[in-house]
Amino acid sequence: MQSKAKGAPRRVRVDLGERSYDILIGSGLLSQTAEYLRPLKLGKHGVIITDTNVEPRYAGPLREALGKGGITVEVLSVPAGEGSKSLRQADRIFEKLPSLGLDRQSFVIALGGGVVGDLAGFVAASYLRGLALVQMPTSLLAQVDSSVGGKVGVNLPQGKNLVGAFYQPRLVLADTDTLATLPARELRSGFAEVIKHGAIRDAGFFEWLEREYKQVLALHPDAVARVVRRCCEIKAEVVSADERESGLRAILNFGHTLGHAMESLSEYVGLLHGEGISMGMCCGARLSVKRAGLSEEEAGRVGDLIAASGLPTRLGGSFKLEELLAAARLDKKARNSKLRFVLLKRLGEAVVSDAVTDADFVEVMDVCR
């Protein structure tokens, strides 16, 4: 259900001093890209980094849209999927860039979902010690979460996001039309991050999601625009307060310690990020009842919304407890190898806690199977 209405885009500001930038959200933005880039005063030559799913749909139209503004771009494409968030793909791109005639005024456009945004962001952060980065997220997950906030990087076999940087984009352009071509499972995976934003920071938004989740998943334009904007506002607020995750920002990792552990153990095959964190949030809600005073009723609502959206709530038998525990310890938010979890005190309020013991973990994992 692609909306053709072309109103003025919604604008969310990420306030980070000299690294501040806008997130523009709306329908039909892609065809206006040259206009939105103009105020940034970038060079006239750049590179689009995308993947094999997104390239055939959007790389051509984007190149054309930029051409109208006198901007020329090369297109580099990686295989679709989490496997491309690797040092190997980063190196492959690094080795292609010198022949493209880029200079320090050149820019990188990350056109795609979370994998492309993180990979292209790391490349932009590192090539010539930093080129201007424009995020053009085409998945719900990337539009509501990963394209905003400046975390970029790649995975190692031992864990997610172990190599990367804090590197803010100069602009985020979220064209909600691109969500129409997203497979349903990818859409639901992105919706897991939407639920997270409500759970950690805005009980009213969570309630609205409980009522309207079907509208969002059916891509009703107003519902989608509202969801993307509200999530970006929440993320912008948190990131502005704590860019480099010395405190508050860690709450964005609700569900992620376990989610990452599961993704790592499944070697990024067969489990989408949003599916991992859905199970992680369900376990997180149980741990929150035990260690942060969350009510049983609210913990139940977290699980219910996840389940209603078609996302997994239970781990199933495929993960060994000891392996999950070891992977959770390796999570880079861990300090001195202690378990560190984001817990909910109530819907809309999250805390970072070191209070979860191995015994709690084992008990809750058992319940969540």
CB 197 within 8 A of CB 205: yes
Q: Is 20 in the site for a copy of itself (CB under 8 A)?
A: no
Q: How far is the CB of 94 from a copy of itself (least distance, A)?
A: 5
Q: How far is the CB of 156 from a copy of itself (least distance, A)?
A: 6
Closest of 72, 195, 217, 51 to residue 136, by C-alpha: 51
Closer residue to a copy of itself (CB): 163 or 355: 163
Span of 100-108, 185-193, 269-277, 295-303 interacting with a copy of itself by CB under 8 A: 100-108
Q: Would residue 151 show up in a list of annotated catalytic residues for this protein?
A: yes
Closest of 297, 327, 343, 313 to residue 192, by C-alpha: 313
Span of 60-68, 148-156, 190-198, 265-273 interacting with a copy of itself by CB under 8 A: 148-156
Q: Is 352 in the site for a copy of itself (CB under 8 A)?
A: no
Q: Would residue 245 show up in a list of annotated catalytic residues for this protein?
A: yes
Closer residue to a copy of itself (CB): 8 or 99: 99
Q: Is 336 in the site for a copy of itself (CB under 8 A)?
A: yes
* Size of the residue set binding a copy of itself (CB under 8 A): 39
Q: Among residues 20, 105, 318, 357, which is the contact residue for a copy of itself, using CB under 8 A?
A: 105
Closest of 110, 236, 233, 124 to residue 178, by C-alpha: 110
Closest of 348, 331, 96 to residue 207, by C-alpha: 348
**Per-residue contact string for residues 166-185; x = within reach of a copy of itself by CB under 8 A:** x-------------------
Tracing tokens 């939407």 back to the chain, one arrives at: 194
Q: How far is the CB of 200 from a copy of itself (least distance, A)?
A: 21
Q: Would residue 220 show up in a list of annotated catalytic residues for this protein?
A: no
Locate 63 and state its tokens: 């190149």
Enumerate residues 222-241 that contact a copy of itself by CB under 8 A: none
- The Cα–Cα gap between 149 and 12 comes to 12
Q: Among residues 67, 337, 357, 362, which is the contact residue for a copy of itself, using CB under 8 A?
A: 337
- The Cα–Cα gap between 316 and 277 comes to 14
Side-chain-facing half-sphere of 89: CA atoms under 13 Å: 26
Rg for the chain, CA atoms, rounded: 20
CB 333 within 8 A of CB 253: yes
Per-residue CA distances from 299 to 112, 126, 343, 353 (Å) = 33, 42, 11, 17
Q: Among residues 6, 11, 13, 104, which is the contact residue for a copy of itself, using CB under 8 A?
A: 104
Catalytic residue among 55, 82, 243, 245: 245
Span of 47-55, 87-95, 224-232, 355-363 interacting with a copy of itself by CB under 8 A: 87-95
Catalytic residue among 63, 229, 253, 301: 253
Rounded (5°) CA angle 51-156-123 = 45
Q: Among residues 39, 130, 183, 247, which is the contact residue for a copy of itself, using CB under 8 A?
A: 130
Phi/psi for 32 (5° steps) reads -105, 15
- The Cα–Cα gap between 107 and 97 comes to 12
Q: State whether residue 150 is helix, strand or coil.
A: coil
Q: Is 125 in the site for a copy of itself (CB under 8 A)?
A: yes
Q: Among residues 34, 163, 203, 355, which is the contact residue for a copy of itself, using CB under 8 A?
A: 163
Q: Which residues are catalytic?
A: 129, 151, 193, 235, 245, 249, 253, 256, 260, 273
Q: Using CB under 8 A, list all residues that contact a copy of itself.
A: 43, 87, 91, 94-95, 97-99, 101, 103-105, 122, 125-130, 151, 153, 156-159, 161-166, 244, 330, 332-337
